[in-house]
Amino acid sequence: MKKSLFFFLLAIIIIIISYLTLVILDIILPRISKYNKNYFNAQKELIRPDIDFINFQVLQSNKKIKKTIQDANLIPLGTLPYTSNIFCNEGYGKKIFKSDRFGFRNKDEIWKNISEIEAILIGDSFAAGACVDDKFTISHLLTEKNIKTLNLSIPGYSPLNYKILNKVFTKKINPKYLIILLYQNDNTLLDKYSIFNDYENIIEPKYYFNIFDNELRPSKRFENLNKDLKSNLYEYSKNSNYTKLNEFLFKIKKYLFLPNVRKFLSNIIFKNNLLGYNKSLVNDVIETCKAIKCKPIFALIRASNYWDPQYFYEDYKNSLQNYLAQEGLSLVTFEESINFKKLKFYSPNGGHLSKLGYKLVSEKLYKTIILKD
């Protein structure tokens, strides 16, 4: 009996140690690509973010924020509406923009006549125009070329968020073009552990806005959600130690599910594999565009090898290309114009695009739009 108990306890200890080893490996894996001389030199040049940007994807670790969302049974779409946001400084100075009525980086007037909107751009910080002035953002540059573009992009967002934004806005706005601008780290499993995942199937456009003579106005329910979130954010910001602990525990929690180990094994064992919400995002966008006769454009930006070295770009690119090809679509990439090993295409002191980089991306997207016509 004692011998059996000993071996049982030994087996439990071995399982626990093995699991903890995998958790540690999961934390290390995304950082392995960064252990090189270039990256350490880059860190010395990097301007540390001085960001006051409200991203509820990140803030869901706070219990009050999470409860506010659950009580409203509604998720925020962008940052807080009509709020000044300190974006970032990667060598061009600190950038500040005021969000529109729905919490995105647009002039609020764009919502007053949605029939004039020709393109919707959905993505993360690159699509949002991180670290540059408005006039250098992709949406602004496309608008200057007479493709009036609505920017529905938020730093830190990923395919789950893109899918939700498409569901809420695209059919109501009815653009000619729907641009999904992906980044190298969007082939992720982390979406599965977001509070946004709980609401993905139940949200409806009517929860967020009303339409009056081609103008989209926030619904009372959406306004109340943002009002409650704003009041709770004040309490959140006052208790910085509690905030930091909460964010730390939230980060640790996601590693317990081993998303990076699973992603690594998936890319090594199963080639051409799209993870998380990538496939359902593509399917939803295609379905939406078939319904309203818009033209879907999928594009992929590669990370800087100097500022943000990452693995598996080619795997992600090939996986997207193959999946899109089944629907007769192609993937827009920028390798012929943006060399990921050269610094001039990225910010002077950080991993986002330089003014030149944003210009080249917008030009390639514009050419793609022209060809689709």
Mean pLDDT of 156-160: 92
246 has pLDDT over 60? yes
Q: Is residue 156 located within the same domain as residue 14?
A: no
Q: Is residue 269 located within the same domain as residue 324?
A: yes
Q: Is residue 16 located within the same domain as residue 71?
A: no
Give the pLDDT of residue 276.
84
Mean pLDDT of 118-136: 95
Give the pLDDT of residue 218.
95
Q: Is residue 24 located within the same domain as residue 118?
A: no
* Number of folded domains that form the chain: 2
CATH code of the domain containing 269: 3.40.50.1110
Least confident of 167-176, 271-280, 331-340: 271-280
140 has pLDDT over 80? yes
Q: Is residue 7 located within the same domain as residue 96?
A: no
pLDDT tens by residue, 299-354: 999 999 888 888 788 889 999 999 999 999 999 999 999 999 898 999 988 889 99
- The fraction of the chain above a pLDDT of 90, given in percent, is 50
Give the pLDDT of residue 298.
98
- Higher-confidence residue: 272 or 17? 17
235 has pLDDT over 60? no
Q: Is residue 168 located within the same domain as residue 262?
A: yes
Task: Supply the pTM of this predicted model.
Answer: 0.88
Q: Is residue 160 located within the same domain as residue 26?
A: no
Q: Is residue 25 located within the same domain as residue 152?
A: no
Q: Is residue 25 located within the same domain as residue 45?
A: no
Give the pLDDT of residue 95.
83
Q: Is residue 331 located within the same domain as residue 275?
A: yes
Encode the chain in three state secondary structure: CHHHHHHHHHHHHHHHHHHHHHHHHHHHHHHHCCCCHHHHHHHHHCCCCCCECCCHHHHCCCHHHHHHHHHHCCCCCCCCCCCEEECCCCCCCCCEEECCCCCCCCCHHHHHCHHHCCEEEEECHHHHCCCCCHHHCHHHHHHHCCCCEEEEECCCCCHHHHHHHHHHHHHHHCCCEEEEEEEHHHCCCHHHHCHHHHCCCCCCHHHCEEEECCEEEECHHHHHHHHHHHHHHHHHHHCHHHHHHHHHHHHHHHHCCCHHHHHHHHHHHCCCCCCCCHHHHHHHHHHHHHHHCCEEEEEEECCCCCCCCCCCHHHHHHHHHHHHHCCCCCEEECCCCCCCCCHHHECCCCCCECHHHHHHHHHHHHHHHHHHC
295 has pLDDT over 90? yes
By residue range, what is the domain housing residue 12?
A: 2-32
Q: Is residue 15 located within the same domain as residue 124?
A: no
Least confident of 104-108, 288-292, 306-310, 313-317: 306-310
23 has pLDDT over 50? yes
Q: Is residue 107 located within the same domain as residue 61?
A: yes
How confident is residue 50, by pLDDT bands cut at 50, 70 and 90? very low
- The fraction of the chain above a pLDDT of 70, given in percent, is 85
